Amino acid sequence: MKVIITKECQYGNIGEIKEVKSGFALNFLLPQQLVEKATDKSIAFWQSRKEVQAKVVAKKAVAKDKLIEQIRNKVVKISAKANESDILYAAIHEKELRVAIENQLGLDLGNYKIKLLSNIKKLGNQEAKININSEIVDIKINITKGDDQN
């Protein structure tokens, strides 16, 4: 029996057409709603769905590349508390960097994951590498002493 896999499972990926024994399909896969019978209509539906998904993935990749080019080698200013030795009381975190990028560069980072590849714990000009959805981007960060120092 030909079936189309409709949910992620160990038997295949979503949208794949598989040939399985009819008893296995009727007694296990269909009741679990892991597959549906492969008819001409269902095959056409899943193929069109794959095409739409491919277009969405391509659009997201283009948007990510555009965002990365807008961030690459830009300077972001962040003020933080530091002691007399110019060492920060608290390291700069991804959340602070995200807010600074969004506010100063006017970009919307949306659901992109940002991960600093090294800790930032000193005042002054720092170069940081950030990971945006598995793409490494260099950004310059100018850390200044905050106004609320004692």
Would you kindly state where each structural domain of the chain is located, as residue ranges? 2-63, 68-145
Q: Give the mean model confidence (pLDDT) for residues 132-145.
A: 85
pLDDT tens, residue by residue, 31-77: 999 999 999 999 999 999 989 999 999 998 898 888 888 888 889 99
Per the prediction, the chain carries an average pLDDT of 87
15 Cβ contact list (under 8 Å, min separation 6): 4, 5, 46, 49, 50
Residue 43: exposure state from Cβ atoms within 10 A (0-12, 13-18, ≥19)? middle
Does domain 68-145 match CATH 3.40.50.970?
A: no
Give the CA distances from residue 71 to residues 57, 114, 140, in Å, rounded to whole numbers and listed in that order: 21, 12, 10
For residue 9, the tally of other CB atoms under 10 A from its CB is 13
**Level-2 CATH architecture, domain 2-63:** 3-Layer(aba) Sandwich (3.40)
38 Cβ contact list (under 8 Å, min separation 6): 2, 3, 4, 17
Enter the tokens of residue 8.
């992620």
Q: What is the structure's pLDDT at 150?
A: 43
Does residue 142 carry a pLDDT above 70? yes
CB-CB contact of 123 with 90 (8 Å): no
